[in-house]
Amino acid sequence: MRLSRYYVPTLKETPAEAEVISHKILLRAGMIRKLTSGIYNYLPLGLRSVNKVANIVREEMNRAGAIEVLLPTVQPGDLWKETGRWEFYGKELLRFKDRHDRDYCLGPTHEEVITDLVRGEVRSYKQLPLNLYQIQTKFRDEIRPRFGLMRGREFIMKDAYSFDKDEAGAEESYRAMYEAYSRAFKRIGLKFRAVRADSGAIGGDFSHEFMVLADTGEDTIAVCLDEGCGYAANLEKAATVDPGGQCPATTALPGVEEVATPDQHTVEEVCNFLNVHPSELAKTLLFDADGEPVAALVRGDRELNDVKLRNLLGANELNLATAEQVQAWSGAPVGFAGPVNLKVKRIVADFELRQDQGWITGANKADAHLKNVHLGRDAEIECFADLRVITPGDRCPECGGRIDFWKGIEVGHVFKLGLKYSKAMSATFLDENGKEKFMVMGCYGIGVSRIVASAIEQNNDENGAIFPPSIAPYEVCLMALGGKDQSVTDKAEELYAQLQEAGIEVLYDDRDERPGVKFNDADLIGYPMQLVLGGKGLKNGIIEAKDRRTGERAELPLDDFITNFNAWRDDIWRAWGLK
Ligand code: ATP
Ligand code: MG
């Protein structure tokens, strides 16, 4: 492509609306333009990158045996009513009516549509397993669209859905997708981790989020610092190590003692007032779990993980008790609940509290706390379990190494759905024995447009983007700096033709611009390779080649140019870990 005939409206100034680096660069490099909040036009260079990501994803999906389809963006509300998500999905689902007053929505995801498609066609176990995917535009009316392609309202997603005849098959489908994702993200050139996520009612390790590691990530993940271990989990999921200890019904130790704590509601207030450390407190949180009162205890300096609590209780709905409920269940205002003589049947505690230590707890009485509470002796704890949020410095649940917190951007998600949609929508088949069974499903998403932004977040410098060669809009930018020297222009034209002939994706900056302008644009857009032909070089029979990532320059002989170029190019791909 010749830049003089192309459409790359670069900007000198950074638009004020852009907060993160990828958004700034994508706008400045003329790769995207905002149409309205969270909705972008993809300009030629941006589109090329998006398409390259999509193609790598497509190749890996095909290799894993998935089959491409294309489903509509507009979906009938009736399907969403079948699964109950018409009500439950919330405001991200953009609902509207057609001229006949029928309900429709813009697809934020396609479980309903795909299940409807498959239930109509698949009858026998012989047609399973089946994995269908598409690369398509999604719409989610995000509450805070931001960061350009990172969190748009309209964005491009690859979504796949697997249908299997049994659990074992579904697990195999899951693993195949996990592997396809790992291969795709590696080929794209991303530094990522597959992070264990909470799989809710399904349980087991059947939900992984693929996270690109970047400081600007919106997600925090717990990562084991031992490279060989590789454990990574999101904070909802990350398990803490059982510290052990016992909780006997101690009588030999000092008895429970009430202390006045007038107006001291929070852990911090109570600790200051009693001059103790938060780790000496056991805080009691009251919940309404599917209508039943439950108390959960964690150490005063810890944070309760409500996903772990919900999973432990097997609850569908878990809400922190209201002030009225707290008053009714504990007999005291918020801030004074404790496990001793609590009018709540189910009391669970984090296993850190199993240590035989006299804890400070609420007294179930306004303005009072208790000291020397031994949970084995003084309270009825239903069970001790992992209930807290992991912290940096915790031990790794897999290898005992040290846990640290990293920032990540979620670029993909693999998830075992089980029977959720097949049951709600009666997607059944006849098994080997002619028995009707529900299909076991999985769903797998990749944020195609978000990946382009994530790649820039990971690879940039003060001058602009540094694209991995596998997803760069063009691999090479060829610049001729001969001014009025026709021999330079002629040679550049010749090299341009040779590169194209050799199948290299080359953008030829043939504009009548100063060298500085060309250099700046090439750096900004971030082609991984730059070729600069000048009058002097031509005389000496060489062209200057710059590796955008390292800034290293090489001189490639113009004799047998393509061979020399390919050798240099191979080195660059290898240095990126892409060959
Ligand atoms: P997030 O927590 O970031 O909102 P999600 O859990 O809602 O993501 P999924 O429903 O699993 O995302 O969608 C699959 C993939 O689509 C995500 O892993 C992400 O890469 C991408 N994605 C989701 N929402 C957006 C968005 N608003 N803009 C761009 N990409 C998105
Ligand atoms: Mg979301």
Ligand nearest to the CA of 150: 1
pLDDT of residue 203: 65
What are the tens digits of pLDDT across the range 291-301? 999 999 999 99
What's the average model confidence in pLDDT over 374-380?
92
Distance 158 CA to ligand 2 centre (A): 15
User: Can you tell me the distance from the alpha carbon of 530 to that of 519, in angstroms, rounded to the nearest whole number?
Assistant: 9
User: Can you tell me the distance from the alpha carbon of 424 to that of 116, in angstroms, rounded to the nearest whole number?
Assistant: 11
pLDDT of residue 483: 83
Distance 13 CA to ligand 1 centre (A): 30
Residue whose CA is at the smallest distance from ligand 1 atom 3: 410
Query: In the predicted model, is pLDDT for residue 529 greater than 90?
Result: yes
Distance 54 CA to ligand 2 centre (A): 20
564 contact partners, CB below 8 Å, separation of at least 6: 556, 557
Q: Which residues of 186-220 are buried (b: 16+ CB within 10 A; e: fewer)?
A: bbbbbebbbbbbbbbebeeebbbbbbbbbebbebe
Query: In the predicted model, is pLDDT for residue 289 greater than 90?
Result: yes
pLDDT of residue 238: 93
pLDDT band with cut points at 50, 70 and 90 for residue 245: confident
Residue whose CA is at the smallest distance from ligand 1 atom 27: 151
Ligand nearest to the CA of 410: 1
Query: In the predicted model, is pLDDT for residue 163 greater than 70?
Result: yes
Return the best residue to mutate from 413, 454, 457 for the ligand 1 pocket (most ligand atoms within 8 A of CB). Answer: 413
Query: Residues near ligand 1 with C-beta < 6 Å?
Result: 109, 140, 142, 151-152, 155, 157, 410-413, 445, 447, 449-450
Percent of the chain with pLDDT over 90: 92
pLDDT of residue 81: 97
Distance 210 CA to ligand 1 centre (A): 11
Minimum-distance ligand 1 atom for the alpha carbon of 218:
3
Residue whose CA is at the smallest distance from ligand 1 atom 1: 410
Pairing between β-strand 368-373 and β-strand 192-196 as defined by DSSP bridges: unpaired
Percent of the chain with pLDDT over 70: 99
Query: In the predicted model, is pLDDT for residue 513 greater than 90?
Result: yes
Query: In the predicted model, is pLDDT for residue 356 greater than 80?
Result: no
pLDDT of residue 124: 97
Structure tokens at 8: 């790359």
Q: Where are the alpha helices (DSSP H) in 352-431?
A: 375-378, 420-424
Distance 527 CA to ligand 1 centre (A): 27
What are the tens digits of pLDDT across the range 14-49? 999 899 999 999 999 999 999 999 999 999 999 999
User: Can you tell me the distance from the alpha carbon of 118 to that of 425, in angstroms, rounded to the nearest whole number?
Assistant: 11
465 contact partners, CB below 8 Å, separation of at least 6: 22, 25, 29, 456, 459, 524, 525, 526
Query: In the predicted model, is pLDDT for residue 202 greater than 80?
Result: no
pLDDT band with cut points at 50, 70 and 90 for residue 373: very high
What's the average model confidence in pLDDT over 342-370?
94
Residue whose CA is at the smallest distance from ligand 1 atom 29: 151
Query: In the predicted model, is pLDDT for residue 125 greater than 90?
Result: yes
Return the best residue to mutate from 208, 235, 415, 450 for the ligand 1 pocket (most ligand atoms within 8 A of CB). Answer: 450
335 contact partners, CB below 8 Å, separation of at least 6: 264, 265, 266, 362
Minimum-distance ligand 1 atom for the alpha carbon of 109:
10
Residue whose CA is at the smallest distance from ligand 1 atom 22: 447
Distance 105 CA to ligand 2 centre (A): 17
pLDDT of residue 216: 87
What's the average model confidence in pLDDT over 153-174?
98
Distance 410 CA to ligand 2 centre (A): 10
Do you find a cis peptide bond into 129, omega within 30 degrees of 0? yes
Least confident of 96-100, 193-197, 557-561: 193-197
Distance 47 CA to ligand 1 centre (A): 19
Distance 110 CA to ligand 2 centre (A): 14
The secondary structure of 125-144 as a DSSP string is: GGG-SEEEEEEEEEE---SS
The whole-chain average pLDDT of the chain stands at 95
Query: In the predicted model, is pLDDT for residue 254 greater than 90?
Result: no
Distance 214 CA to ligand 2 centre (A): 18
Minimum-distance ligand 1 atom for the alpha carbon of 142:
27
Ligand nearest to the CA of 209: 1
Minimum-distance ligand 1 atom for the alpha carbon of 159:
14
Minimum-distance ligand 1 atom for the alpha carbon of 140:
27
Minimum-distance ligand 1 atom for the alpha carbon of 445:
14
Distance 209 CA to ligand 2 centre (A): 12
pLDDT band with cut points at 50, 70 and 90 for residue 440: very high
What's the average model confidence in pLDDT over 370-378?
93
Minimum-distance ligand 1 atom for the alpha carbon of 412:
18
Three-state DSSP at 65 gives coil
